[in-house]
Amino acid sequence: MHGLDTEKLPRHLAIIMDGNGRWAQERMLKRIIGHQRGVETVRVIVEECSKLGIRYLTLFAFSAENWLRPKTEVKALMALLKKYIKAEVSRMLTNNIRFNVIGNRDELPPDVNDAVQDAIDRTAAKTGMVLTLALSYGARQEIIQAAVQMAADISSGGLNPAALDEKRFSSYLFTSSIPDPDFLIRTSGEMRISNFLLWQLAYTELYFSNVNWPEFSRNELHAALRDYQSRERRFGRTSAQLQNRS
Ligand code: IPE
Ligand code: IPE
Ligand code: MG
């Protein structure tokens, strides 16, 4: 129906959900209406990814830099986040989804943090898709906190600098329990990473859709995934090497 090979789906799909504000402004609506519509898209895409059998879905919902937006927009976004998380827990439980958050949670308002913790706790035993929201997340900040923690562990004798490798470094990141993304989608036509998962995206396949997030549909998702399935991931090797190995 969707023309996808379910054996070749990305294990981890990450999405930069962008274009809510422009979607609203193009319709002479307030930006927050765009964010509300964006939440509808989140529901559709989360459900579809879970149905398709994607193991990890990570959504960039609020960046460390988004705190710089007007106070009214930040406040409305935080209220929307709390409402979404509280409303979705029961659907997550039904769909066997485990909820997870990456980012600087200390910066979130306490009521949002409580809703986050409650959703994490209640879905902790679920074994299906892992849904990670990046909240107050910035990749450089993540790398710095990892460096600080490593320095502390080295001075306390818990970490031998000579033993530091990619795997050990990764274990200090917020994403320690999830594999690197195989595929990244950014909506709204912007072609940048905006401080998202800088370390983890090293070999991720990138896809940019011109559609604003409120209008990103199942069909758009399928088209993106078909594109992913047409790619050859070489990880530095030659194409011939890959053909010989299969
Ligand atoms: C993405 O939409 C949602 C967040 C960043 C919170 P935007 O709000 O960035 O929408 P545009 O980019 O202004 O259109
Ligand atoms: C990135 O979108 C953050 C999220 C999608 C949450 P932005 O709209 O904030 O990115 P920039 O600042 O335009 O690059
Ligand atoms: Mg934007």
Taken in order of first residue, the domains within the chain and their CATH numbers are 7-139+180-230 (3.40.1180.10)
- Give the ligand at the shortest distance from the Cα of 134: 2
| For ligand 2, atom 7: residue with the closest CA | 18
pLDDT tens for 69-127 read 999 999 999 999 999 999 999 999 999 999 999 999 999 999 999 999 999 999 999 99
- Is residue 5 part of the annotated active site? The answer reads no
- Mean local confidence (pLDDT), 238-244: 94
Instruction: Output the pLDDT for position 135.
Output: 98
Question: Backbone phi, then psi, for 132, in 5-degree steps?
Answer: -110, 125
237-245: average pLDDT: 91
Q: Who contacts 124 (Cβ-Cβ below 8 Å, separation ≥6)?
A: 98
Distance of CA 57 from the midpoint of ligand 1 (Å): 19
> Tokens 């504000």 identify what position?
21
Residue 98 near residue 129 (C-beta atoms within 8 A): yes
In this prediction, residue 174 carries a pLDDT of 98
- Please answer whether residues 132 and 178 qualify as being in contact, where contact means their C-beta atoms are separated by less than 8 angstroms: yes
Tokens 């902790």 identify what position? 124
**What predicted TM-score, i.e. pTM, was given to this entire model?**
0.98
| Known catalytic membership, residue 66 | yes
pLDDT on residue 246: 58
- Confidence band, pLDDT 50/70/90 cuts, at residue 177: very high
- Report the pLDDT averaged over residues 155-170: 97
- What pLDDT is attached to residue 244? 87
Q: How far apart, in whole angstroms, are the C-alpha atoms of residue 168 and residue 244?
A: 32
DSSP string for residues in the chain: -----GGG--SEEEEE---HHHHHHHTT--HHHHHHHHHHHHHHHHHHHHHHT-SEEEEEEEEGGGGGS-HHHHHHHHHHHHHHHHHHHHHHHHTTPEEEEES-GGGS-HHHHHHHHHHHHHHTT--S-EEEEEEEE-HHHHHHHHHHHHHHHHHTTS--GGG--HHHHHTTSTTTTSPPPSEEEE-TT----TTSSTTTTTT-EEEE-SS-GGG--HHHHHHHHHHHHT----TTS-HHHHHHH-
Q: What is the mean pLDDT of residues 1-13?
A: 94
Query: Which residue ranges have their beta carbon within 6 Å of ligand 1?
Result: 17-22, 62, 66, 77, 188
The closest-lying atom of ligand 1 relative to the alpha carbon of residue 63 is: 5
Which percentage of the chain shows pLDDT scores above 90? Answer: 98
With cut-offs at 50, 70 and 90, classify the pLDDT of residue 179: very high
What residue numbers does the annotated binding site cover?
18-23, 31, 35, 63-65, 67, 69, 186, 192-194, 205
Decide if pLDDT at 170 tops 70.
yes
The burial of 60, by beta-carbon neighbours within 10 Å (0-12 exposed, 13-18 middle, 19 or more buried), is given as buried
Report the residue among 41, 62, 63 best suited for mutation to probe ligand 2: largest number of ligand atoms under 8 A from its CB.
63
Mutate to test the pocket of ligand 2, among 60, 194, 195, 213 (most ligand atoms within 8 A of CB): 194
Average pLDDT of span 127-152:
98
Residues of the chain with pLDDT > 70, as a percent, come to 100
> Which one of 66, 95, 104, 113 is the catalytic residue?
66
**What integer is the mean pLDDT of 5-15?**
97
**Whose atoms come closest to the Cα of 65: which ligand?**
2
Q: Which amino acid residue places its CA nearest to atom 6 of ligand 1?
A: 62
Around ligand 2, the residues with Cβ closer than 6 Å are 16-18, 60-63, 65-66, 192, 194
Q: Cα(15)–Cα(208) distance, rounded to whole angstroms?
A: 10
Residues 132/100, Cβ–Cβ less than 8 Å: yes
Q: What is the mean pLDDT of residues 190-208?
A: 98
The residue-averaged pLDDT of 10-35 equals 98
